[in-house]
Structure 1
């Protein structure tokens, strides 16, 4: 499976792990964790980008907490329709883009956002597209937060439901190689949460 096929599968996703699926469950413990991390590290007016925002449940948690400058990008255009139906205030106040991460980040300025975060999204980036991690590090002006599944051996792949690839990576290694410094990490039931600062 090449990078184009991986993106196509996520763009067309329905049923389990689809935008409607996530919208149904709403904010969860991960949403609360992301909120608490941001509350500790940045101000409420920080510009925040979620890559792979899906139906917006994590950004909705941030909006409810008082964060005001929120942006999301998702490959699945239907996700943004679900977001608008489920979180109309967030849709009206935030900025949202239907695009792949690879398309979206390329033309952004350095330090384009104070905070960039991902929740179980970067783990699905195909090995052919790992160059995008350079751009993610480049656009995170103050903070990068990764909430990704690191339960498998780095460099291996697992197929979710026998079709969607999950590429295990050591995210500390990935972003340390790109000049970032890990300042906090926690291992949860499934995911490892890492907080990075860019070089000063």
Structure 2
């Protein structure tokens, strides 16, 4: 499906805006946040730009994670990005280690 291509995912920010609007007031900037299926990291970068600091993402696509590194340099230095299937990563994460986790959706 073309809508899920990593390079297309960089552009639209409507779902990232929606995510941020619905998090504000509920979670502080130090909340541990995990996005499962983060693709190129657009949602994580949007949260990072808003001031959230403890961000992690899981993405199975090597291409998407390489594009994340090129597109969002500051995020890549600060966030923890797991380039593996979620089934492998989730078993290594601390129980109750994240205040919020979510999966990507398209806008």
Same fold (TM over 0.5): yes
RMSD: 1.9
Indicate the structure with greater strand content: 1
Q: How does 1:83-98 map to 2 (within 5 A)?
A: 83-98=68-83
Q: Partners in 1 of 2:29 and 2:89 — Cα distance?
A: 24
**SS of match in other structure, 1:75:** coil
Higher RCO by CA contacts (8 Å cutoff, separation 6 or greater): 2
TM-score, normalised by the number of residues in structure 2: 0.90
**SS of match in other structure, 1:106:** helix
Which residue number corresponds to residue 53 of structure 1?
38
**SS of match in other structure, 1:40:** coil
- Please point out which of 44, 58, 61 is paired with 1:76: 61
Q: Partners in 1 of 2:7 and 2:88 — Cα distance?
A: 24
Which residue number corresponds to residue 22 of structure 1?
9
Which residue number corresponds to residue 112 of structure 1?
97
**Displaced runs of 4+ in structure 1, greater than 2 A?**
none
Q: How far has the Cα of 1:107 moved from its partner? A: 2.8
Note the residue ranges of structure 1 that are not aligned, 5 or more in a row. Answer: 1-12, 121-146, 148-189, 191-200
Q: Partners in 2 of 1:82 and 1:49 — Cα distance?
A: 19
Which residue number corresponds to residue 37 of structure 1?
22
Indicate the structure with greater helix content: 2
Q: How far has the Cα of 1:46 moved from its partner? A: 0.5
Report which of the two structures shows the higher radius of gyration computed on alpha carbons: 1
TM-score, normalised by the number of residues in structure 1: 0.50
Which residue number corresponds to residue 125 of structure 1?
none
Q: How does 1:81-160 map to 2 (within 5 A)?
A: 81-120=66-105
Note the residue ranges of structure 2 that are not aligned, 5 or more in a row. Answer: none
Q: In the comparison of the two structures, how many residue pairs are matched? A: 107
